[in-house]
Amino acid sequence: MQEQQAVLQEARKEAKEAREARGRYFDEPADPADAIEVATVDKEMAEERAESPQREVEALKELVDELSTDFEILKAEIEEKGSDGAASSYQLKQFAGQDARLKGALARDLSSSAKQEHVKLQKLVEKKNQELEAVSQRRECLQEELSQAESTSDELREHADAACSGCRGRGGDVNRPEPESRRESARVERGRGGLGSDERDDARETEPELRGQLDVVGAGSGSPGA
């Protein structure tokens, strides 16, 4: 029975460690790439722990088989010695009762402890799968937003180039493109606000160039009237 208790305590300990690891995962913020990596590792660890109760079940079954074999050997030895029949019968009943109680205790332990831990670990694996899927979807959304921001940046650059060309060709009689350009710039800023750190760095690299284009547009449209 001590071996059984030790096995069950070890299973509970592993389940506790899995819950603590899950708590640390939710407490520590991470970017999408790190979150995917952490969720994948946690999922693999949970799957490994989910297999542990099954191995414990097999070990307990082997213990039952060994005890049953010992019981049969003792039974045969008592019958061969031909000792007092009443004493032999009493001893056999004792062994049979002990064997039955042990099997019942093992069955209860397996159903109330090992199986419960196994179910908990399976649920943990399913939750990690859901978290991994959510992080993957978030990364796809960020990539889509980045593509839209890049497209908007290209459009803004084209508008700025067209405005500069119009300023040079028509002198002062032009429509000022600054409000439209600023609106496009604001759209880029709003799109950039939902991006991750890497995507924001890429957007910052294009910002000086875009602002330079806006300055050129402002200077070109204001110079003829000066």
Q: Which residue has the higher pLDDT, 89 or 222?
A: 89
DSSP conformation letters of 80-94: HHT--HHHHHHHHHH
pLDDT at 62: 81
Segment 24-50 shows an average pLDDT of 67
Segment 149-174 shows an average pLDDT of 71
Which range, 40-44, 86-90, 136-140, has the best average confidence (pLDDT)?
136-140
Q: Which two tokens stand for residue 218?
A: 């402002």
Q: Which residue has the higher pLDDT, 88 or 70?
A: 70
pLDDT at 177: 47
Least confident of 56-60, 144-148, 217-221: 217-221
* pLDDT over 90 percentage in the chain: 0
pLDDT in tens, 172-187: 444 444 555 555 566 6
C-alpha angle with apex 166: 163 to 172, nearest 5 degrees?
105
Q: Domains of the chain: which residue ranges?
A: 2-141, 145-222
pLDDT at 68: 79
